[in-house]
Structure 1
Amino acid sequence: MARFSARPGIRAQLMLFLCSICLLLLGLFWFLSTQMLEPLYNRRIEEQLSAQADEIVRLMDTATENGEILSSWDFGELMVSDTFREALYQALSKNSELTNFCVDISDTTLRNVLYIENLYPCLLHNSTLIDSDSSSPNAPTVLQMRRTCRENGQLLQSLRAPGGSSQMVVGRLTADGSYTVLVTTSLVHVGEAGQVLGRMLPTIAALIFAFAMAAAWLFSQWFTKPLRQLSAAARQVARGDFEIQVDSHRRDELGSLAREFDHMAREVQRAAQMQRDLLANVSHDLRTPLTLIKGYAETVRDLTGDDKAHRDEQMNIIIDEADRLTALVSRVMELSKVTSGAEKCEPVRFDFCQLCDEVSERYDAICAQNGWQLQLELPDQPVEVWADPSMMERALHNLLGNAMHHIGPDGVFILRAIPCEEGCRVEVEDHGPGIPAEDLPYIFDRYYRSRADAGKTGTGLGLSITRAIFQQHGCRFGVESTVGSGTTFWFILKHPPKEGAKAKPPRS
């Protein structure tokens, strides 16, 4: 019984992810608007007031260092230097960040020396808002702030009028302690604004969440459409319909996946066709020797049982066909073991030139019998490689046997070993009819035969076995051919690993 996962599909996961992101952003907006807005705003106002107060104090300290008298008593009144007053006005007019503010300057007696109002109402100088019994700039609350600033060297305080707005006051003391500077500005109703946003946020959140759900549904519908098409196409391929084509016009990863799926479907179709061809060809090759064996056995039984000469001839045909049948079955079994990994590659260090010498000796008799010549082109020094000797011997036999089947008029085929940077390049060359260019990509496929090989003996599996051996060793291989001039099969074996180094296993 099939088991279905309880996890939601990709579309549901996308919608869940997008909605979660939306809720997270709404929560972050709520936190910033209701919990962090007022503290951040007050911190910014404090920084601006502190910068303004520091600038005024710096200006006063510079004037004092230059010997300028900032204020003096004249007939019982406190007079401020016109030069200082003008310099102060110019400095304050250059400030671009803080526009609505008031400045209060007092001396050591805590009495007001100079005040500048650029804010209405100013709680420092319109003290009736906070001190109902006094309307003087030297009201008790203001005097207390001046005293606190003088004692501590600085001041940070908030003023709030009953039922009115609130203001922030920042105080600084000059370097010689002669003057106290207070700067104030109003605080907008940020807290009230945060409360209003908090009351409105549920409605806004509901609208945004509904929009996010609709957008997530549409996005997931669009995003998963190629995946649904691929799923439907995969079901059709599973039913044997390899002609299916998936829309691959997208230029993203999904489009690349669709193109790879189409390529896979074509390769599966070709593999299925090759499998059908293999079954048909093997069945045909099996049927022929079996028919001959049965026919000649019946003839021996019914007609030529007493005629020794005819009987021996027909028995030899039966034996030859049985051998051909055995060879075909052995080749199929060998291909199955190599390609399935049942026969593992066990690489060792050995001299490949010595293996070539041993393999070539096996062809001396057949070459002498047919007037052929196997030329060995080997280097003078040993060439050590890292491979499985028995598998390499089998591959050489397959390639040399293939060369003999396509030997040219000169009767020469060549086994060549060339040392190279990677290791050793091995070539098997014949001077036969060659392979057409359109057949070269399929020459190593199972039971594939080019049109030039039609009707020739052989199982058609030798090159497939050879390819499987090369793939187990992880070595590069290929074929080069020119029609009418001959064919060269080549492969490259790797150097043995250095002493003490761990050899990488061959790729399967």
Structure 2
Amino acid sequence: MFLKSITQRLVLSYFIVILITVSVLEVFLISALDKYYNNNMKELVGNQIKASADFYNNYFSSSSLEKNIEDNADIFWKNTNAEVQIINKDKKMLLDSVGNFTEDKVEAEDVEKALEGKLSSTTAKDKATGERIMYMSYPLMSSGKIEGVLRFVTSLSEVDEITKRITYIFASLGLVVIVISSLISIKISNSIVKPIKEVTNMAKRIAEGKFNERLSIHRKDEIGTLSMAFNSMTEEILKNDKLKNEFIASVSHELRTPLTSIKGWASTLKTGQLDNKSEIIDGLNIIEKESDRLTLMVEELLDFSRFISGKVSLKKDYIDIRNNLLYLEKQFTPRANRQNINFTVRLQENMSLIFADENRVNQVIINILDNAFKFTPADGNVEMTCAEEEDSIVIRVSDTGLGIPKEELPHVMEKFFKGKSSMSKNGLGLSISREIMELHGGTISIQSTYGEGTTVTIKFPVNKEGEKA
């Protein structure tokens, strides 16, 4: 079944890990205990068979093996409860303490190794009872020569029973551990998923337009960081929504003003009550001026829409920025004279070319110069400089105008932001300028002191390889 819930997937993952871990540990422990008990049994029987064989070798080896079996058979099993077998060096069974004689030769690995002088043991299942049997053989010596084999046969049913009981105990404990761990994993999974669900529900509420709600932060882990980021996002959305509403109100007001003038003069001219030619010309001039103002505002809005939707295409070519700045100097000099502002331009000679869209570059610089002249009072100064610094063409526009309040400075290039000054426009110019500079791989930055003036720095990257080409 496909698990849609993160909680289900987490719990299943924890369960699989716990199950595998407990199973591996139990298999390891049971195997180790089984080996431990089997080794203990082997060591016990080994000590017993060595003691019996050593006793025979020390005290009875002067007589033949057959003679000792007839006279002293009990010496072979006095140290053990196991079944005792005596086998001569021809592998013929001479004695079996429980009467399980066989006329055939005893062909067994443990007997073969005992005849070579080694202690040896093997394990096999009894075909009749199904229990495990351990066979252990040890050489019987006489005058330094092997006379036969002493063989102990013992059942491992007690060892198997102990191992079985321990297996049941471990299996029960493992089951308890799995159940407890699964319950804990459910709790842990819920502790992880619950705040995610809260974030999800908050996202749904924000999608419904409820921007004033916030997530409660009780953790300092990644979930807490996510909640903090989410709260910051909602604050930013709320701020942008507020700026958007203020922007709409501002644009509506700015559109209404020229429209009112155009409509008023158009109505007046329509009545034909103006006999004075100069008044007619004044009216037409106002209509033309306000129409140009409306066109400029619409162009800015269209530009902003294109940048936001990513539909702006640049027509780049290699240009000498000096020529553009000299043209703009001529364009703004009459305005400087009208406003009685000292406008100076200082340009470096022989600068590298920049790869840019000439019209967009002019748009950025015109916007910066327009703001400088707008906020600089009469008898103030506006200065534009341009020089090549390292791998950039740097343009600076400085003025001695009103400056920007410290609290507004970080936001002046944000979309929709409109300063408190009555001379601030719709808040799109600097935002569009920043978008244009980013498309050119350049930067725009503003330094300002309120009441003293502002400096705007524009940097265009220089591509010397492309210039050579």
**How high is the TM-score relative to the length of structure 1?**
0.68
Q: Which moved more, 1:272-281 or 1:391-400?
A: 391-400
Match of 2:386 among 413, 417, 421: 417
CA contact (8 A) 1:37 1:194 kept: no
Matched, 1:273 2:234: no
CA contact (8 A) 2:122 2:135 kept: yes
Matched, 1:247 2:243: no
Tell me the distance in 2 between the aligned counterparts of 1:166 and 1:230. Answer: 66
1:380-399 equivalences in 2 (<5 Å): 380-399=349-368
Tell me the distance in 2 between the aligned counterparts of 1:466 and 1:193. Answer: 85
Residue identity in the other structure for 1:295 = G
User: 1:265: how far off?
Assistant: 0.3
Matched, 1:341 2:337: no
Residue identity in the other structure for 1:336 = S
Tell me the distance in 1 between the aligned counterparts of 2:352 and 2:327. Answer: 15
Tell me the distance in 2 between the aligned counterparts of 1:113 and 1:165. Answer: 33
Match of 1:466 among 413, 433, 436: 433
1:83-482 equivalences in 2 (<5 Å): 102=47, 112=57, 126=80, 129-131=83-85, 133=95, 148-149=113-114, 151=116, 155=120, 157-158=122-123, 191-196=160-165, 199=168, 207-302=176-271, 304-345=273-314, 349-421=318-390, 423-451=392-420, 453-454=421-422, 456=423, 458-482=425-449
Tell me the distance in 1 between the aligned counterparts of 2:318 and 2:118. Answer: 87
Tell me the distance in 1 between the aligned counterparts of 2:410 and 2:374. Answer: 20
User: 1:349: how far off?
Assistant: 4.9
CA contact (8 A) 2:131 2:156 kept: no
Tell me the distance in 2 between the aligned counterparts of 1:197 and 1:346. Answer: 83
Q: Secondary structure of 2:85's partner?
A: coil
User: 1:123: how far off?
Assistant: 8.2
Tell me the distance in 2 between the aligned counterparts of 1:257 and 1:355. Answer: 48
Match of 2:452 among 485, 490, 505: 485
Match of 2:20 among 24, 47, 61: 24
CA contact (8 A) 1:349 1:385 kept: yes
Partner of 1:15: 11
CA contact (8 A) 1:428 1:490 kept: yes
Tell me the distance in 1 between the aligned counterparts of 2:330 and 2:79. Answer: 119
Partner of 1:79: none
Tell me the distance in 2 between the aligned counterparts of 1:294 and 1:495. Answer: 49
Tell me the distance in 1 between the aligned counterparts of 2:426 and 2:366. Answer: 14
CA contact (8 A) 2:321 2:353 kept: yes
Over residues 263-306 of structure 1, what are the superposed CA-to-partner deviations in whole Å (9 max), with x where a residue is unaligned? 00000001100110111011111111112222222222236244
CA contact (8 A) 2:121 2:136 kept: yes
User: 1:212: how far off?
Assistant: 3.9
Over residues 192-247 of structure 1, what are the superposed CA-to-partner deviations in whole Å (9 max), with x where a residue is unaligned? 34433555677556544443443233222222221122122222222322221212
Q: Secondary structure of 2:414's partner?
A: coil
Over residues 99-155 of structure 1, what are the superposed CA-to-partner deviations in whole Å (9 max), with x where a residue is unaligned? 99639789xxxx8469xxxxxxx98964863328378xxxx99x9957625649885
Per the alignment, do residues 260 and 152 of structure 1 end up closer, same or farther by CA in structure 2, a change over 3 Å counting? farther
User: 1:387: how far off?
Assistant: 4.0
CA contact (8 A) 1:304 1:310 kept: no
CA contact (8 A) 2:123 2:132 kept: no
Per the alignment, do residues 303 and 361 of structure 1 end up closer, same or farther by CA in structure 2, a change over 3 Å counting? closer
Residue identity in the other structure for 1:131 = Q
Tell me the distance in 1 between the aligned counterparts of 2:359 and 2:186. Answer: 62
Q: Secondary structure of 1:478's partner?
A: strand
Over residues 467-508 of structure 1, what are the superposed CA-to-partner deviations in whole Å (9 max), with x where a residue is unaligned? 221233343432111123210112333342857xxxxxxxxx
Per the alignment, do residues 496 and 112 of structure 1 end up closer, same or farther by CA in structure 2, a change over 3 Å counting? farther
1:53-68 equivalences in 2 (<5 Å): none
CA contact (8 A) 2:120 2:138 kept: yes
Q: Secondary structure of 1:437's partner?
A: coil
User: 1:440: how far off?
Assistant: 0.5
Partner of 1:73: none
Over residues 381-401 of structure 1, what are the superposed CA-to-partner deviations in whole Å (9 max), with x where a residue is unaligned? 423445444322221111111
Tell me the distance in 1 between the aligned counterparts of 2:233 and 2:270. Answer: 54
Per the alignment, do residues 342 and 171 of structure 1 end up closer, same or farther by CA in structure 2, a change over 3 Å counting? farther
CA contact (8 A) 1:349 1:496 kept: no
User: 1:331: how far off?
Assistant: 1.2
Tell me the distance in 1 between the aligned counterparts of 2:78 and 2:361. Answer: 101
Residue identity in the other structure for 1:16 = L
Tell me the distance in 2 between the aligned counterparts of 1:414 and 1:445. Answer: 25
Tell me the distance in 2 between the aligned counterparts of 1:320 and 1:33. Answer: 94
Per the alignment, do residues 309 and 220 of structure 1 end up closer, same or farther by CA in structure 2, a change over 3 Å counting? same
Tell me the distance in 2 between the aligned counterparts of 1:112 and 1:359. Answer: 122
Q: Secondary structure of 2:325's partner?
A: helix
Q: Secondary structure of 1:362's partner?
A: helix
Tell me the distance in 2 between the aligned counterparts of 1:367 and 1:188. Answer: 112
CA contact (8 A) 1:351 1:384 kept: yes
Tell me the distance in 1 between the aligned counterparts of 2:225 and 2:392. Answer: 37
Q: Which moved more, 1:16-25 or 1:191-200?
A: 191-200
Per the alignment, do residues 487 and 464 of structure 1 end up closer, same or farther by CA in structure 2, a change over 3 Å counting? same
Tell me the distance in 1 between the aligned counterparts of 2:77 and 2:250. Answer: 106
CA contact (8 A) 2:132 2:157 kept: yes
Tell me the distance in 2 between the aligned counterparts of 1:128 and 1:436. Answer: 103
- Give the percent of matched residue pairs that are identical in Structure 1 and Structure 2: 23
Partner of 2:66: none
User: 1:27: how far off?
Assistant: 4.0
Tell me the distance in 1 between the aligned counterparts of 2:49 and 2:26. Answer: 39
Residue identity in the other structure for 1:129 = E
Per the alignment, do residues 318 and 384 of structure 1 end up closer, same or farther by CA in structure 2, a change over 3 Å counting? closer
